[in-house]
Amino acid sequence: MTTRATHFAFLALTLAFVSGCGEQVDEAPAQVLAQDPQLARALNDPLMVDPDLSWRSEANAVIAYRDGHPLPLIEAREDAAARAREEARLELLENGQIPVTPSASSQASETTFADLKTADQMVEAAGARTDCIARMDSDLVWSTRMPPTSSIMPHGMVQQAAGVDEWTCVVRVVRYMTPVSIDDALEYHWTKIERARFDITRYAQPTAQLHGERRDQKVIFEFREGPGGMTAVDVVHWRK
C-alpha cells in the first residue's frame, strides 16, 4: 500500500511539474516582450539596416552586421521589386490617378550626396539649416517620423537616418534602398510632393534628383544605382 501510494504521489507531482513547465513556455514570450519594449520593437518594427552605425554599439542589437561600407543585406529580386512597385502605386492611387512625371531640366544640379558619409554633410550640401546640425540625433527611428510628403517607399530598407524637431529646427535626413528602378522611385516621390503643392525641379545630372520647395519647407531627393541591383535614395527635408 505504501509503495502504491508513493507511486501515485510521485506520478501526480510529475504531471504537475510538466503542466507547470508547459504554462511557463506558453507565457514566457509575452512576459519577455512586456518587460522588454526594446526587444518587442526589434521584433515587430519594419526591417531597417544601419551598417555604418551598428558596429558602434550592439547593446540592443538582435542581429548585427559589419562591413566597411553600407551594403544592403538583401539583394534586389524581381518579385520584391514587383511587390514594392505595386504597393507604392496602390498608395498613390488612393488619392487619384498618378500624373506623368515631367522631363528633367537641361541644367545640372549643384547638389550631390553620392560621396557623402554623414547626415551633417548632407544637410550642408543641401543648403539646409546648418545651425540645426549640432542638435541632430542619428537614429533609425527618424525614418518613421518623415512628413507624409517625403516618407520612404513601401518595403524600403533604411540604412541611415537622423533628425531634429526642436523649436524652429525641423530637419530630416534618410538614406534607404529600394528594389524598384530609379524611375519608379522618382515617380513615387514626385507624385507625393506634387500633390502637396511643392514647386518641383527635376534634374538628370550629376544624378537623378528632385528639388521641391514651398513657402515654409524644402526637400531634396537623390536617386542612383545602389549595390545588389537596388536603387539608393537620399532624402533631406527641412523647414526653412
Q: 54 in a domain, yes or no?
A: no
Express as a percent the part of the chain with pLDDT over 70: 69
Residue 13 sits in the same domain as residue 126: no
pLDDT above 70: residue 184: yes
Residue 148 sits in the same domain as residue 30: no
Residue 17 sits in the same domain as residue 109: no
Q: Pick from 155, 166, 150: which is nearest to 234 by CA?
A: 150
pLDDT above 70: residue 13: no
Residue 109 sits in the same domain as residue 208: yes
Q: Pick from 228, 186, 170, 192: which is nearest to 49 by CA?
A: 228
In Å, how far are 58, 65, 83, 118 from 145, measured between CA atoms?
Answer: 23, 24, 23, 19
Residue 93 sits in the same domain as residue 200: yes
SS3 105: strand
Residue 161 sits in the same domain as residue 223: yes
Q: 57 in a domain, yes or no?
A: no
Residue 13 sits in the same domain as residue 95: no
Residue 122 sits in the same domain as residue 10: no
Residue 220 sits in the same domain as residue 115: yes
For residues 11-18, give the mean pLDDT.
41
Element (H, E) at 222: strand 217-225
pLDDT above 90: residue 119: yes
Q: What is the mean pLDDT of the chain?
A: 78
Q: Which three cell numbers stand for residue 209?
A: 534628383
SS3 111: coil
Query: Domain containing 207: what range?
Result: 78-239
Domain count, the chain: 2
For residues 127-134, give the mean pLDDT.
96
Q: 56 in a domain, yes or no?
A: no
- Answering whether pTM is above 0.75, one says no
Distance, CA of 14 to CA of 215 (rounded, Å): 74
Q: 91 in a domain, yes or no?
A: yes
Does the N-terminal peptide bond of residue 206 adopt cis geometry, omega within 30 degrees of 0? yes
Residue 95 sits in the same domain as residue 27: no
Q: 53 in a domain, yes or no?
A: no
pLDDT band at 77 (very low <50, low <70, confident <90, very high): confident
Residue 25 sits in the same domain as residue 96: no
Between 7 and 138, name the one with better pLDDT: 138
For residues 69-80, give the mean pLDDT.
64
Residue 12 sits in the same domain as residue 112: no
